[in-house]
Structure 1
Amino acid sequence: MSKISTAILRGVSGAFIANSGVGKIGMPAEYSAGVQQAAASGIPALAKLPSDKFGTWLGYAETGLGAALLAPFVPSRIAGAGLAAFGGGLLSMYFRNPENTEADGIRPSQEGMSLAKDVFMLAIGLALMTQGDDK
């Protein structure tokens, strides 16, 4: 992959995720609990975390992932692995909730459209992980 295409993949996804993360830091406890409930539908262990702090912790994690994608000194394989894991986690929420898909269990329903698009994060992460070195 060329340096330009790598910069585009990392820059766009990194800026998007960092912005999303910053917006979650310090969120009200009620909203944080709702975000945690949605996340726990895909990754049940997340239900064990304190619900009032979950949103802020998620915000810090997203901001850190976005920063790693934007930082040129972080190898693309490492940043891509983080993005692929994050995208995979979001897709687990999509596939574990039957309301998100049509009857075939794959195509998104209207309710699932907002999560189905996260397949792009997984794909970008995998592309970054499998490319040659960053030189």
Structure 2
Amino acid sequence: MSFISDAILRGVTGAFITNSGVGKIGMPAEYSAGIQQAAATGIPALAKLPSDKFGTWLGYAETAIGASLLAPFVSNKLAGAALTAFSGGLLSMYFRNPENTEADGIRPSQEGMALSKDVFMLAIGLALMTKGGK
């Protein structure tokens, strides 16, 4: 059963992230700058990167993370670590922008709903890292 659960966790998540990444490669500079600005709310150092290339670089990174999840020769621990780091960055954008949460700072506002779902990717990444085996 472990193989089937691994295939489901890794396959669905990997395909989703790969598709998202491929869609960002070669994006127009104005869209790239907008994504960079949003990303910098969670990780301020990202604001120092060239804004016209940020979206493409992010696209390559997402594609690589998705591919690591889809590649059966990449261990669960390594693929899970990549997914955990990526989703942690997305969740930092969620928690560092007060517009994304209700007054309690946890529950998503309407604006934060798209990012709040990334908690599922964090859970999948942590599960892959901790389950052991290939």
Query: Which residue of structure 1 lines up, in the alignment, with residue 73 of structure 2?
Result: 73
Q: How many equivalent pairs are there?
A: 134
- The within-5 A match list for 1:6-85 is 6-85=6-85
Which runs of structure 1 show a deviation greater than 3 angstroms over 4 or more consecutive aligned residues?
none
Q: What are the Cα deviations for residues 10-61 of structure 1, in whole angstroms up to 9, with x where unaligned?
A: 0000000000000000000000000000000000000000000000000000
CA–CA distance in structure 1, aligned partners of residues 128 and 41 of structure 2: 28
Letter in 2 for 1:72: P
1:72 aligned counterpart, secondary structure: coil
Matches within 5 A, 1:74-113: 74-113=74-113
Aligned to 1:115: 115
CA distance in 2, matches of 1:133, 1:3: 10
Query: AA paired with 1:80?
Result: G
Cα distance in 2 for partners of 1:99, 1:41 equals 11
Instruction: Kindly indicate whether the alpha-carbon contact (under 8 Å) linking 2:90 and 2:115 is maintained by their aligned counterparts in 1.
Output: yes
Q: Which runs of 5+ in 2 are unaligned?
A: none
The TM-score, its normalising length taken from structure 1, stands at 0.98
Retained in 1: the 8 A contact 2:76–2:132?
no
How many Å apart are 1:86 and its aligned residue? 0.4
Between the aligned residues of both structures, percent identity stands at 84
Letter in 2 for 1:5: S
Q: CA RMSD in A?
A: 0.7
Q: CA shift at 1:132, angstroms?
A: 1.6
Extract unaligned runs of 5+ from structure 1.
none
Question: For the residues of structure 1 that align with 2:85 and 2:2, how far apart are their CA atoms?
Answer: 23
